[in-house]
Amino acid sequence: MFLAILTGFLIYMVSGMIYYSILGKRWVNLLHIKLEKQPNYGLLTFVTLLTTLLLFGLLNLSQAETLVDGALIGGSVGLIVALAYAKDFIFSLGSNSKNAISLYFIAVGYHVIALTVIGTVMMFFI
């Protein structure tokens, strides 16, 4: 259990670093963010760990048995995140931007991809 959660957590963190090293500059420019203020890395780490724990719990509760099961469940969680984010996004977060669609797909793409991979990899430990 511990190894599955640790592995999932590390995948989530490393994939975020890779994903945003590729798309981060575009994302920052589209949002007009000034990078002078650093994010709260402690809170970021906690939320990432909690997400990983919940995905692990969901995989166990669903009695997933195969890598495909893990990928489908992880991907489904990623799609739920994307849909929940879409609701907020539609109401105001990106609706005033001419680049709203790009912002949305950059933001949610990471979670869909990462959670699908994490769900798959966790199945090696269940």
pLDDT digits (tens, 9 = 90+) for 58-75: 999 999 999 999 999 999
- Between the CA of residue 36 and those of 31, 39, 50, 91, what are the distances in Å? 14, 10, 27, 28
Percent of the chain with pLDDT over 90: 63
Compute the distance between CA of residue 48 and CA of residue 67 in angstroms, rounded to an integer. 22
For residue 89, which amino acid is it?
Answer: F
The least confident of 19-23, 25-29, 30-34, 110-114 is: 30-34
Average pLDDT, the chain: 90
Q: Is the pLDDT of residue 83 over 90?
A: yes
Between these two residues, 92 and 89, which has the higher pLDDT value? 89
Rounded to 5 degrees, φ, ψ at 107 are -65, -45
